Structure 1
Amino acid sequence: MLKQLYIKNFTLIDELNIDFHPGFSVITGETGAGKSIILGAIHLLLGQRADTRQIKEGRSKCIVEAHFDLSTCHLEDFFQNSNIDYDASDCILRREVSSNGKSRAFINDTPVSLTLMRECGELLVDIHSQHQNLLLQKEDFQMNVVDIIADDKPLLDDYKHHYADYLQAVHKYEEQKKIIAQNRDQEEFLRFQYNELDKANLQADEQESLESQVQTLSHIEDIKSALFQTTSLLNNDDNGAVNLVKNAADSLQNLVDVYPEIQDAAQRLESAGIELKDIADEVDHKLENIDFDPQQLQQMNDRLDELYSLEKKFHASGVNELIDQRDQLKQEIANIDCSDDFLADLEEAMSVAHDNCAKIGQRLSEARLHAAKKIEAEMHQRLVPLGIPKVRFSIDIQHTDCQPMGLDKISFLFSANSSTPLQPVAQVASGGEIARVMLSLKAMISGAVKLPTIIFDEIDTGVSGRVAEKMAETMREMAQQHRQVIAITHLPQIAAGGTSHYKVSKEETSEGTVSTMRELSEKERVREIAQMLSGSDISQAAIDNAQALLDAQK
């Protein structure tokens, strides 16, 4: 629950630090006093987009901070998965907005993204404002209410998993069907391309080998000349390098007996002579075997021209890429040849995925149907005391094919009297009736959702008198189920129902208009409620009436 709220430099608020209590609290104040400012600060804290216009004029930044007690919320996993320190007795959410447009968010002094702060806020506080009554027009909201009461999250998650598989199977089938249709349109061209590449008898790395051989043959005369010159220098009978080295080795070897220190040099020179002789023989052998065939060179150049032409035509960077394209064309042609069988297999897989999805969806529909009966009965029990004695509330569930949320199309039907046919609630209910329907729904689902704090912003629109008292009773009942309920109200009957009472007021100071909020004492509550009953001139009768309202709630 919300324990403490601190606001600084936010619109008309200089600095506000106020404690909140368990149970049912009410916030009152004249129109324009600043109740919406308090709510706006909480919205900012829960991840709403910041606006620099929210900073009090002349200040550099605004701060909103709240302390929550999470001891009954079981949120350890959320904090652990988010890598945030967890303190069940004091969880701190803080938001800072600077005049330069920068916004920072913190959870327990850890900087977090706005998305994460929003996720955390949705686990802590539910704010119901007047515009949320429009949710009754939306099918997904109505579906969500039924799912909450059905407690079908594991089943719904299972359905979504199978639905994703079904969508994937449909996509694969449709995509392949489209590809096959396109391929059939250009089948003749595909076969022509494949035959051209297949006829080329492409070999991996062939181009590199040919280019190397052509390079060699193109310089054959230079190669032969160099080999011949090398052979002459090595094998010349008189002054060839082989003979000169051999003679030098023999000379040193003759000195070994009289000059032992030269033996190592003599052996090394002898080894060099042997190596040199091997080199001379190898060069001579290459010279004898090298040959130039102009026809062979022409064939190689012709083959390279063929490969270069194919690469240009098929926009390939080399022979290996041409081979890949050839193989891909072969597969596409094979797909065309057996496309009917292939599509039949994909269609069967799609059918199986649909059946699996529908099977889970049927179980989900049964759970929703059971929950719908429960909702209808409870809504009747709640709406009759709220001043709609002839109310009829029904949930129409129409079955459809597999959809993202199941096989159901859900609509809340409503009639305030026995003579009017049931119609969608948003179309026939008055503003006051919609407010009571929404309050009843919130009261019903709050027990299932287990949100620690629920804030109602003028949920009492369009009601008064005895109905307002019953609405206060409903909110008190919600607050007794281990949660905190805060209502912003203009009605004295609801204000009297709170166990704690806060007043928002506005005053003029030397620095301009300032909004403040404080908790009222019992005596102050009497005067505030009396003023709500009679206006600015508080009569003794209004005070007595206010006291009676408060006494009736004890």
Structure 2
Amino acid sequence: MLTSLSIKNYALIDSLQVNFNQGLTIITGETGAGKSILLGGLSLILGKRADLSALKKGDEKCIIEAVFDVTNYQLESLFQQLDFDYESQTIIRREILPSGKSRAFVNDSPVNLSGLQTLGNHLIDIHSQHETMQLVDDDFQFRVIDALAKNENCLERYKRALVQHKSLQKAYDALLNFQSEALKEQDYNTFLLNELQDAHLKTGELEELEEQYETLNNLEEIKQTFESADYLLNDEQIGAIGNLTQLKNNLQRLSKYASKYDDLFNRVNSSIIELNDIFDEINTLQDHLDLDTSQIEGIGNRIDLLSNLLKKHHVETITDLIEIRNGLSKKVLAAENIDADMANKEQEVQSSLEVLNTISQEIHDNRKLAIPRLSEELEKILNQLGMPNAQFNIQLILSDNFHSNGKDNLQFQFKANKGGNFNDLKKAASGGELSRIMLAIKLILSNYVQLPSIVFDEIDSGVSGEISNKMGDIMLQMSNTMQVFTITHLPQIAAKGHTHFKVYKEDVDQITQTSLNKLDFDARIVEIAQMLGGEKISNSAIAHAKQLLN
């Protein structure tokens, strides 16, 4: 329930702070006094988009704050879903800055408007003449029937099953498309795969082949270079190894004279060791040069094959070709197994369809049982509200299509008078009748589900006398289980409230501003007397006001 509301610098409101109680709260005031401003501020709390023109003083920010006691609303899971901080005394604040930017906070943590709107739907239902048109909306009509049918769990199961079915159907359709494309590409993919498989690809092979090709192409030059190196290193007359060996022996004789000669000896000796190692490696390489030059053609052909495959598939390395081969292998295999996959997926789709149909039938049966009870209760309440001949003809037709809330199509027909014909509610009921029907529905719903606090904004428009008295009784009855606010011009309804506030305008320092005043018993007598007889209060109006209040 809404426990307090604070508004600063909004429209004609300079500063307003008001506390609310459980039960039926009445709000009255002359036309133009600012009741709509109060509702506008409350709407901002519930997530309505802000408008810079709402600032009373353009250079100051507007702050609207409301405190809700959500102890009995079971909203912990919703707060968790929205990633809001849960508090049993939840504070919602909106700020409109002079720059035009707007900010929203729940329990002092910033939130986005969509999340705030979702939360707001569970806190307050602002019901105006515009909202009465919800009556002719299929979704609203289904929500009413489902509340009486206790379909909440069924609908949750249905929604999960519908998501699962759509997901499976999407996967099946994707397989169908894949099958169609796969059949077109199967022969070509198989050809490409066979071509790559026949190539017996090996990572790094192309580089090795190119090296072999270069070696074979320049074999004579390589042999001559190795023979020359052998001569320069090991010839008896000029060979580097022999000459260095002679130098080493000479330095060895000098090493006994000084240590510095010993260092030279060691360096020369290291050079001889290195040159001997080089000589051995050259000999080894020479031994492996006995290559068959006739292989050069085969190697060249292999290089051409691999190079052509690289160009054909627009890649750089054999590793890339291997990846393409593996991918083609999977595609060809998938295409070969597509029939089995489709049969399995089709069975899954069919199973999900059976689950959906079972739940849909359960929802339908529950609705069929609830509809006569809804019609009976509506007609009973409307009889009290001056519509003794009102009748409803609610038809529920099980269709072949899966909707968001089942497979039913709904025809919600109404007639207000004897001898008339049933027609769609939108065409058959006047504005005043729709207001009374909506009030009746809200009363019925309050007996089956936990409704949030509700604000009736002149729902009594177009009625008077005894009917308004009955409407007041209904609102009073609803206030036994929920917090009810009603903005009214009718004294019969105003007298029913547990608490009464008056909205009024006054000029302060030549500036008009809207204020809200909680009326005590004596002030209520005066207010209701004015509602009965105008500004000039007569004794009879006072007496009538006291009678209504008592």
TM (norm. structure 2) is 0.86
Assess, with a 3 A threshold, how the Cα gap between structure 1 residues 219 and 522 changes in structure 2: closer, same or farther. Answer: farther
Assess, with a 3 A threshold, how the Cα gap between structure 1 residues 248 and 534 changes in structure 2: closer, same or farther. Answer: farther
Aligned partner of 2:547: which letter?
Answer: A
- Say which SS state the counterpart of residue 30 (structure 2) adopts: coil
- Residues 9 and 59, structure 1, Cα contact 8 Å, conserved in 2: no
- Residues 412 and 424, structure 2, Cα contact 8 Å, conserved in 1: yes
Aligned partner of 2:483: which letter?
Answer: Q
> What does residue 156 of structure 1 align with?
155
Q: How big is each residue's C-alpha offset from its partner over 1:57-102, in whole Å with a ceiling of 9 and x where there is no partner?
A: 43331110011222322334444566655442x3211111112122
- Residues 500 and 519, structure 2, Cα contact 8 Å, conserved in 1: yes
> What does residue 549 of structure 2 align with?
550
Q: Aligned runs of 1:103-122 on 2, under 5 Å?
A: 103-122=102-121
> What does residue 130 of structure 1 align with?
129
Q: How big is each residue's C-alpha offset from its partner over 1:474-500, in whole Å with a ceiling of 9 and x where there is no partner?
A: 11111111x211111222222121111
TM-aligned CA deviation for residue 221 of structure 1:
7.8
> What does residue 357 of structure 1 align with?
356
**Residue 469 of structure 2 is aligned to residue 469 of structure 1:** yes
Assess, with a 3 A threshold, how the Cα gap between structure 1 residues 281 and 495 changes in structure 2: closer, same or farther. Answer: same
TM-aligned CA deviation for residue 390 of structure 1:
1.8
Q: For the residues of structure 2 that align with 1:490 and 1:158, how far apart are their CA atoms?
A: 45
Q: For the residues of structure 1 that align with 2:221 and 2:43, how far apart are their CA atoms?
A: 86
TM-aligned CA deviation for residue 10 of structure 1:
0.9
Q: For the residues of structure 2 that align with 1:474 and 1:264, how far apart are their CA atoms?
A: 117
- Say which SS state the counterpart of residue 435 (structure 2) adopts: helix
**Residue 544 of structure 2 is aligned to residue 506 of structure 1:** no
- Say which SS state the counterpart of residue 123 (structure 1) adopts: coil
**Residue 69 of structure 2 is aligned to residue 69 of structure 1:** yes
Any gaps of 5 or more consecutive residues in structure 1? none
Q: For structure 1, which segment, 220-229 or 142-151, has the greater mean C-alpha deviation from structure 2 after superposition? A: 220-229
Q: How big is each residue's C-alpha offset from its partner over 1:168-212, in whole Å with a ceiling of 9 and x where there is no partner?
A: 222222222233234445655555555555555544554455456
Q: Aligned runs of 1:34-433 on 2, under 5 Å?
A: 34-79=34-79, 85-88=85-88, 90-185=89-184, 189-190=188-189, 193-194=192-193, 197=196, 200-210=199-209, 231=230, 234-237=233-236, 242-243=241-242, 277-290=276-289, 300=299, 302-316=301-315, 318-329=317-328, 332=331, 342-401=341-400, 402-433=402-433
Q: For the residues of structure 2 that align with 1:98 and 1:235, how far apart are their CA atoms?
A: 95
Aligned partner of 1:179: which letter?
Answer: F
- Say which SS state the counterpart of residue 71 (structure 1) adopts: coil
Q: For the residues of structure 2 that align with 1:110 and 1:8, how far apart are their CA atoms?
A: 20
TM-aligned CA deviation for residue 346 of structure 1:
3.2
> What does residue 485 of structure 2 align with?
486
Q: For the residues of structure 2 that align with 1:357 and 1:492, how far apart are their CA atoms?
A: 52
Q: For the residues of structure 1 that align with 2:97 and 2:313, how far apart are their CA atoms?
A: 58
Q: For the residues of structure 1 that align with 2:31 and 2:222, how far apart are their CA atoms?
A: 103
Aligned partner of 1:360: which letter?
Answer: I
Assess, with a 3 A threshold, how the Cα gap between structure 1 residues 405 and 79 changes in structure 2: closer, same or farther. Answer: closer
> What does residue 534 of structure 1 align with?
533
Q: Percent identity?
A: 38
- Say which SS state the counterpart of residue 407 (structure 1) adopts: strand
Q: For the residues of structure 1 that align with 2:408 and 2:214, how far apart are their CA atoms?
A: 74
TM-aligned CA deviation for residue 391 of structure 1:
2.0
Q: For structure 1, which segment, 269-278 or 13-22, has the greater mean C-alpha deviation from structure 2 after superposition? A: 269-278
Aligned partner of 1:33: which letter?
Answer: A
Aligned partner of 2:58: which letter?
Answer: G
> What does residue 460 of structure 1 align with?
460
TM-aligned CA deviation for residue 49 of structure 1:
1.3
TM-aligned CA deviation for residue 16 of structure 1:
0.8
Q: For the residues of structure 1 that align with 2:216 and 2:503, how far apart are their CA atoms?
A: 98
Q: For the residues of structure 2 that align with 1:382 and 1:432, how far apart are their CA atoms?
A: 15
Any gaps of 5 or more consecutive residues in structure 2? none
TM-aligned CA deviation for residue 467 of structure 1:
1.6
Number of aligned positions between the proteins: 549
- Residues 58 and 98, structure 2, Cα contact 8 Å, conserved in 1: no
- Residues 180 and 335, structure 1, Cα contact 8 Å, conserved in 2: no
Assess, with a 3 A threshold, how the Cα gap between structure 1 residues 334 and 78 changes in structure 2: closer, same or farther. Answer: closer
Q: For the residues of structure 1 that align with 2:362 and 2:381, how far apart are their CA atoms?
A: 29
- Residues 194 and 329, structure 1, Cα contact 8 Å, conserved in 2: yes
Q: For the residues of structure 1 that align with 2:177 and 2:81, how far apart are their CA atoms?
A: 43
Q: For structure 1, which segment, 41-50 or 409-418, has the greater mean C-alpha deviation from structure 2 after superposition? A: 409-418
Q: For the residues of structure 2 that align with 1:547 and 1:365, how far apart are their CA atoms?
A: 51
TM-aligned CA deviation for residue 403 of structure 1:
2.9
**Residue 446 of structure 2 is aligned to residue 446 of structure 1:** yes
Q: For structure 1, which segment, 240-249 or 21-30, has the greater mean C-alpha deviation from structure 2 after superposition? A: 240-249
Assess, with a 3 A threshold, how the Cα gap between structure 1 residues 55 and 255 changes in structure 2: closer, same or farther. Answer: same
**Residue 514 of structure 2 is aligned to residue 515 of structure 1:** yes
Q: For the residues of structure 2 that align with 1:81 and 1:248, how far apart are their CA atoms?
A: 90
Assess, with a 3 A threshold, how the Cα gap between structure 1 residues 249 and 466 changes in structure 2: closer, same or farther. Answer: farther
> What does residue 6 of structure 1 align with?
6
Assess, with a 3 A threshold, how the Cα gap between structure 1 residues 79 and 341 changes in structure 2: closer, same or farther. Answer: closer
Aligned partner of 1:507: which letter?
Answer: E
- Say which SS state the counterpart of residue 177 (structure 2) adopts: helix
Aligned partner of 1:355: which letter?
Answer: E
Q: For structure 1, which segment, 372-381 or 27-36, has the greater mean C-alpha deviation from structure 2 after superposition? A: 372-381
- Say which SS state the counterpart of residue 283 (structure 2) adopts: helix
Q: For the residues of structure 1 that align with 2:520 and 2:441, how far apart are their CA atoms?
A: 32
Aligned partner of 1:502: which letter?
Answer: F
Q: For the residues of structure 1 that align with 2:67 and 2:222, how far apart are their CA atoms?
A: 89
TM-aligned CA deviation for residue 7 of structure 1:
0.5
Q: For the residues of structure 1 that align with 2:185 and 2:83, how far apart are their CA atoms?
A: 56
- Residues 383 and 390, structure 2, Cα contact 8 Å, conserved in 1: yes
- Say which SS state the counterpart of residue 389 (structure 1) adopts: coil
Assess, with a 3 A threshold, how the Cα gap between structure 1 residues 111 and 229 changes in structure 2: closer, same or farther. Answer: farther
Aligned partner of 1:463: which letter?
Answer: V
- Say which SS state the counterpart of residue 384 (structure 1) adopts: helix
Q: How big is each residue's C-alpha offset from its partner over 1:420-460, in whole Å with a ceiling of 9 and x where there is no partner?
A: 33333223111111111211222222344424421122222
- Residues 391 and 417, structure 1, Cα contact 8 Å, conserved in 2: yes
- Residues 445 and 451, structure 2, Cα contact 8 Å, conserved in 1: no
> What does residue 496 of structure 2 align with?
497
Q: For the residues of structure 2 that align with 1:354 and 1:12, how far apart are their CA atoms?
A: 58
Q: For the residues of structure 1 that align with 2:24 and 2:59, how far apart are their CA atoms?
A: 35
Q: For structure 1, which segment, 523-532 or 32-41, has the greater mean C-alpha deviation from structure 2 after superposition? A: 523-532
Q: For the residues of structure 2 that align with 1:537 and 1:108, how far apart are their CA atoms?
A: 47
Q: For structure 1, which segment, 358-367 or 1-10, has the greater mean C-alpha deviation from structure 2 after superposition? A: 358-367
